[in-house]
Amino acid sequence: MTKDQLHVLQDINGWDISAHHQSSFATLSEIQQEKAIVSTKNWLLKNGFNKGSDHFAYPQGEMVSTTTLPLMKKYFTSARMSSDGRHETLPVGNRYKLKVFPVKNTTATSTVYAAIDKAAANHDWLILVFHIIKTSGASVQTEYNQRDL
């Protein structure tokens, strides 16, 4: 997405634009992880994405407990993992290992609605993850058609 598109999501639609990185932290040294974390957070702040800048999404849902978790605690107030359709509980078990519901191109709209209804009924916290929203033709697992939102 472009910065302008991200600002529309944040400024008009109220979304939080949060930190993420392209390289798996499982393959990076502690120094490389910290450099990636700091540069990503600084980019958010520099470009006016202050609202969500205290939250992080682990690249590919991977992290190293001995190195990544201390860095997350130093720079962020929460971080999310990857999970398959699990809801986060309230109160949160570990705010640096938040569970999410990834929405894929094969996820039926009715499944998303059911997850929302279940979270509301159980007083859970539902974090929906969309990677790429396309106007049409979502063919890759990480893509989702805009009309289905």
Q: What is the pLDDT of residues 16-49, one digit of tens each?
A: 899 988 888 888 999 999 999 999 999 999 999 9
pLDDT digits (tens, 9 = 90+) for 96-109: 988 888 888 898 99
pTM for this structure?
0.77
Q: Is the peptide bond before 91 cis (omega within 30 degrees of 0)?
A: yes
CB 105 within 8 A of CB 140: yes
Return d(Cα 117, Cα 139) in angstroms, integer. Answer: 27
Largest CA distance in the chain: 43
- Which tops the pLDDT comparison, 92 or 72? 72
pLDDT at 84: 62
With pLDDT > 90 as the criterion, what percentage of the chain qualifies? 38
Take residue 47 and report the two structure tokens written for it.
Answer: 């470009």
Which one-letter amino acid corresponds to residue 102? Answer: P
